[in-house]
Amino acid sequence: MKRIKPFVFERNFLILMTGVFINGLGSGIYLVAGMLLVLNLSGSVLYSGFAMFAISSAGALSFLIAPLANYAKYKNGLVYSNLIKAIILFTIPLLNYTIGLNVWYVIILLFITALFTQYTYPIESTILPIIVGKDNVVEANSYLQAIREAMDIVFIAGAGIIITFIGTVPAISITAICILLVTILYAFFNFQQPDISKEKSQSIGSAANFYFIDLRAGFNYIKNSLVPKMIFSLVFINITMVIMTTNLPAFSLIKGHGIEAAYGFYLASMSLGIMIGTIITPKLKHIDFGKLIIISYIGTGILWMGTATLPLIASIILFSIGAISIGILNILVFSSIQKQVETAYIGRVITLLTSAASLGMPVGSLIGGILGETSTPEIPVMICGISMIIFSIFWLSSSALRKLPNIDSVNLFNNSKVNVK
Residue 388 lies in a domain: yes
- 61, 122, 261, 335, 388 from 243: Cα distances, Å: 19, 26, 21, 28, 12
Residue 414 lies in a domain: no
Residue 210 lies in a domain: no
Sign of the four-CA dihedral 343, 345, 346, 347:
positive
Query: What CATH number is associated with residue 268?
Result: 1.20.1250.20
What pLDDT does residue 230 have? 66
Residue 320 lies in a domain: yes
Closest by alpha carbon to 76, among 177, 194, 181?
194
CB < 8 Å & 24+ apart, contacts of 104-109: 106/34, 106/37, 106/38, 106/41, 106/51, 107/38, 107/47, 107/50, 107/51, 107/54, 108/54
How big, in percent rounded to 5, are the helix, strand and coil portions of the chain? 80, 0, 20
Closest by alpha carbon to 238, among 332, 355, 349?
355
Residue 135 lies in a domain: yes
Residue 24 lies in a domain: yes
Which domain covers residue 128, as residue numbers? 11-194+224-402
What pLDDT does residue 200 have? 46
- 49, 92, 153, 207, 239 from 325: Cα distances, Å: 25, 36, 17, 42, 17
What pLDDT does residue 180 have? 93
The region, left, alpha or beta by phi > 0 then psi within -120 to 50, assigned to residue 167 is: left
pTM: 0.66
Residue 413 lies in a domain: no
Q: Which residues of the chain have pLDDT under 70?
A: 1-8, 28, 59-60, 62-72, 122, 125, 134-139, 141-143, 145-157, 193-215, 218, 225-231, 334-348, 350-358, 400, 407-408, 410-421
The C-alpha angle with vertex 89 and arms to 85 and 90, in degrees rounded to 5, equals 115
Query: How many domains, in total, are found in the chain?
Result: 1
What pLDDT does residue 419 have? 40
Integer Cα distance of 318 and 269 in angstroms: 9
Integer Cα distance of 275 and 269 in angstroms: 10
Closest by alpha carbon to 36, among 171, 158, 155?
171
Residue 390 lies in a domain: yes
Residues in the chain: 421
Answer whether 249's CB lies under 8 Å from 263's CB.
Answer: yes
